[in-house]
Chains A and B, each alone.
Chain A
């Protein structure tokens, strides 16, 4: 990814993140989270993680943030504007972030920096030797494309098959839990 695109998406992401805290209105905060996640998805795609970028858009901005907006509108919060800003949490937040950022810069300035290894036709040709000759992955690699979704699917259903099944059970449990929690108590 060219440098200017990296900084463009980073600025979109960080500005969206800062706007989440700055806006008083929760609906505006939720829409800022959407902007933040769109920038993040751009960064993912720039890192050649196409599948993760797409599910970031589909799952987070498409499903999760719409769920947030539904709940915000369902609860009908009117008295958000009333509270005077207490100074202690704001000072604590700024201090915490300043300490964290300084530590981050300190660590990063001393850790070795690397540039991205090349993902070109030569790398793909070498990697294609590790897959069965006429498979979809090898064919795509030999034609110079990164078969991101195929590679993720292969890893998911071979190496990570048991965690995937457990994840399915987790989603089922979460669904049942939500139904139980949101059922009105009969009294």
Chain B
């Protein structure tokens, strides 16, 4: 049986991979996908805690899984809006490389 710390370690590693992707990659779509990885790592932590710290009646704590449900739904809405912004950006600038997007640089 995998213990709670195993799950937390794996989800922390997934979060670290997502963080590295956001810092390293220059393609804004890949950066966006790495953000999704980080959200999913947080979801894994929530589900692990819901299973390992049961509610008073002995069943898994469904409050944690509710939060996962809401995170997944908000992430879906966020992806839709974010990709629309990326498409609008590509129409305006013909690039999605973060190195070429320096308008806000002082």
Contact assessment for B54 and A117 in the assembled complex, using a CB-CB cutoff below 8 Å: yes
Contact assessment for A182 and B66 in the assembled complex, using a CB-CB cutoff below 8 Å: no
Contacts A36-B37, A93-B24, A104-B9 given; indicate if A171 touches B73 (C-beta within 8 A).
yes
Chain A residues 63-92 with CB under 8 Å of chain B are 63-64, 67-68, 71-72, 74-75, 77, 80, 83, 89-90, 92
Out of B3, B8, B58, B74, which one reaches A115, CB within 8 Å? B3
Contact assessment for B52 and A71 in the assembled complex, using a CB-CB cutoff below 8 Å: no
| B: contact size bracket | 35 or more
Contact assessment for A71 and B29 in the assembled complex, using a CB-CB cutoff below 8 Å: yes
Which residue of chain A lies nearest to B50 when distances are taken between CB atoms in the complex?
A: A49
The 0/1 profile, CB within 8 Å of B marked 1, for residues 115-135 of chain A is 111010001001100100000
Measured between beta carbons, the chain B residues less than 8 angstroms from A130 are 57
Chain B residues 48-101 with CB under 8 Å of chain A are 48, 50-54, 57-60, 62-63, 65-66, 68-70, 72-81, 83-88, 90-91, 96-97, 99
Contact assessment for A108 and B30 in the assembled complex, using a CB-CB cutoff below 8 Å: no
Q: How many A-B residue pairs have CB under 8 A?
A: 233
| A: contact size bracket | 35 or more
Chain A residues 46-60 with CB under 8 Å of chain B are 46-49, 51-52, 55-56, 59-60
Contact assessment for B70 and A167 in the assembled complex, using a CB-CB cutoff below 8 Å: yes
Interface residues in chain B, defined as those with a beta carbon under 8 Å from any beta carbon in chain A:
1-10, 12-21, 23-27, 29-30, 32-34, 36-37, 40, 43-44, 47-48, 50-54, 57-60, 62-63, 65-66, 68-70, 72-81, 83-88, 90-91, 96-97, 99
22 contacts between A and B (CB under 8 A): A17-B37, A36-B14, A40-B14, A40-B44, A43-B47, A44-B47, A47-B60, A51-B65, A52-B43, A59-B72, A64-B36, A71-B83, A75-B29, A92-B24, A96-B16, A97-B19, A97-B20, A117-B58, A130-B57, A171-B73, A175-B80, A178-B84
